[in-house]
Amino acid sequence: MTDQHLPTPANELACNEAVEIMTDYLEGALSKRDAKRLERHAETCPGCTEYLEQMRTIAASLGGLTDESLSPEMRDRLLAAFRHPGAAP
């Protein structure tokens, strides 16, 4: 996935935009319009498709976790890690 994957008429999102909204997409928190934009982008961008699948795998493996089972500090660290991959915790 690179920031060089620029928006085109058929693909309205750049990679960096797509990555920023993937967590919301997986949580079902995006509008239908934004979800469709992300889906269209993923159809044309192998890197973002792979990243989205990785996020799905991680989310599925954490399926038993709830907000209540995490300390507020751990929840914040996890959210930061998902929203800013590669950043130091």
| CATH code: domain of residue 26 | 1.10.10
Examine residue 72 and state whether it is found in any structural domain, yes or no.
yes
In a domain, 63, yes or no: yes
Q: Name the residue with higher pLDDT: 58 or 25.
A: 25
Sign for the CA dihedral angle at 24, 26, 30, 33 comes to positive
With 50 as the cut, is the pLDDT of residue 4 above it? no
Residue 29 vs residue 1, higher pLDDT? 29
43 contacts 10 by C-beta, under 8 angstroms: no
Q: Is the pLDDT of residue 3 over 70?
A: no
- The parent domain of residue 55 ranges over 15-83
Please indicate, yes or no, if residue 4 is contained in any of the structural domains. no
Count helices and strands in the chain by DSSP H and E runs: 4, 0
Total tally of structural domains belonging to the chain: 1
pLDDT score, position 83: 82
The neighbour count for residue 45, using CB atoms within 10 Å, is 20
Which of these, 40, 54, 52, 49, lies nearest to 7 by C-alpha position?
40
In a domain, 7, yes or no: no
User: How would residue 87 be classed by pLDDT, with cut points 50, 70 and 90?
Assistant: low
